[in-house]
Structure 1
């Protein structure tokens, strides 16, 4: 369809004459546009021609009948003398190869993101442990004066939540910019959804809260006598 439009042809296309690489021919049909390259490129013109020696013969079959079709094609192919051995590939495999680089990139991003989250959680855990140790006597006094476990956890955790929130505010614009730059390489692309960043931010906050809460709850449940007996 794209080639017909670029050539200025008008329906009905069948029966029109054209040439391809200086070989004259006649149009016997027009197929609907489809992606035969990566979606980084717009759908372009393509010609299917029946001139023998073009290099590739396309055969349509079903998944269950594929082995039988291959055997039948090989039998027919071997009837004719040729220096080239019988060889075949599946179209879905060829399309899959177009996106292997993106699949590898996605896998690497997931691995490094997981490592970054793990290291960040370890850092938060260490900071929360240090904070709890530094304020252990303050926590003991607050508990003696009637502070609840939730109040102590909120006291220790609010600073970390604020810091993570600031980090999210810094990271989101950078992520949006980098994603737009990457998506600009594709002719067909999805739009960035604010919901994705909101969910990611909430997940980051949840991980931070869970990480910090362990040490905070542990400090809040400790016996204040143990922390104040030396005072």
Structure 2
């Protein structure tokens, strides 16, 4: 399920608006490319079973929220315009609900989603300003499952996070700065520990199949 904080939806008037967020991630694409037409729109789809879903080709970083009600494997590949696999966005068993980041690396542009499922599924492709947030006034963020968090505060100097995870599968967090990203934790199963967050980090992409808590 999607992670939550006390205020999980972005305010379009907040300091970290879509252009600012895109500027933090787009350098990973090799250039600060302008947003594609309609990039502020949410693209929603639904279906049942295995599907190769064509979408309007776009290269700007976005978040994808998926749900699945089947009991077997649910996997989603991001596919490029040449038909190549770019990123395995989701790979799990049974019911699923979560949010992932895509188009975050150099040269990636989404043209299709290759979905393996045995049940009904839904997907929403949303601009970055629709991602969940970690508000400046909150020392803690928590959630359940895959999520993308935009930081409404800026790490400065040595920032240490206390991390906890209750799931039995992979727990990983990528922290994105202006032009770089760091894998600050990558483990299996329940976890308690600490990680450093680089100065300038603005976005966290969390992989989890259980409850997680981040404390600063």
TM-score band (shorter)? under 0.3
More helix as a share of residues: 1
Q: Output the TM-score relative to the length of structure 1.
A: 0.17
More strand as a share of residues: 2
Q: Output the TM-score relative to the length of structure 2.
A: 0.18
